[in-house]
Copies of this chain bind each other. A is one copy, B any other.
Amino acid sequence: MKSRCENCIIRQFNSLRAMSKEELKRVSDTKTTKIIKKGDPIFSEGEKLNGVFCVRDGVSKLSKLSANGKDQIVKLASKGEVMGQRSVIAEESSNLSAVAVSDMEVCYIPKEGIVDALHQNPNFTVEVLRHMAHDLREADDVIVNMSQKTVKQRIAEAFLYLRDNFGEDAEGYLSITLSREDIANVVGTATESCIRIISEFKKKKYIKTSGKKIGVQDEKKLRDLVDGF
């Protein structure tokens, strides 16, 4: 049994909510749902995308390979986010790779349904535009953080960001579990430096760990650090 986009609550979180009944029906008829295992790729940098991916469950990292062979994670996409929009809209091959960070369920939507709606339904287009404007603002903020904050500050900020955007479990650990290497690739540092700073934070009781899980323990201290106190 295939579920319908019309009934998908995920839609409430993204631009698809601005689609008309008919547009949504078409999208639903052409979409395919995929199960993706943790660690598996969804698409790769340079690949021509013929559709977008709507995340129903799990988290994906969107990264770009740098000249020195390191992956810079530019965004983490979770429930409700649409991946590959930018490339489809700009009619360019993807500038990012997407890899599942946890087990995922995503819907693949062929671009035709999206592109046609963009040209015919201004409400939908404006909605997509708003989303992209938001992403652009976030990107500006990241640029400033990268150039003006220390690695320590960026790691502290990353934990707060992960907690605020992905939540925490009953014991106060982050719902999202990233490897140290992934965290390093989010903040743009060497894995060893990242591990060292995590150890330091743990020693200072800013955070707590349990296996791979990490939990924010002293929000204020972390925030002060980020703000430069």
Interface residues of A (CB under 8 A from B): 64, 66-68, 70, 72, 74, 85-87, 89-90, 92, 95-96, 118-123, 125-126, 128-130, 132-137, 139-144, 146-149, 187-189, 227-228
Q: A121 and B122 in contact (CB under 8 A), knowing A92-B137, A95-B140?
A: yes
B118 touches A122 (CB 8 A): yes
User: What's the Cα separation between A135 and B188 when bound, in Å?
Assistant: 21
B68 near A130: Cβ-Cβ < 8 Å: no
Q: Tell whether A120 pairs with B118 under 8 Å between CB atoms, given A64-B144, A136-B132.
A: no
Q: Apart from A68-B148, A119-B123, A147-B189, list 19 A-B contacts with CB within 8 A.
A: A64-B140, A64-B141, A66-B148, A66-B149, A67-B149, A70-B148, A72-B148, A89-B130, A90-B130, A90-B133, A92-B137, A95-B140, A119-B126, A121-B122, A132-B133, A139-B139, A142-B143, A143-B146, A146-B146
Main secondary structure of the interface of A (DSSP, over half): helix
Contacting residue for A137 out of B86, B119, B189, CB 8 A: B86
- Report whether B228 and A96 are in contact in the complex, using a CB–CB cutoff of 8 Å: no
Residue of B nearest to A144 (CB): B72
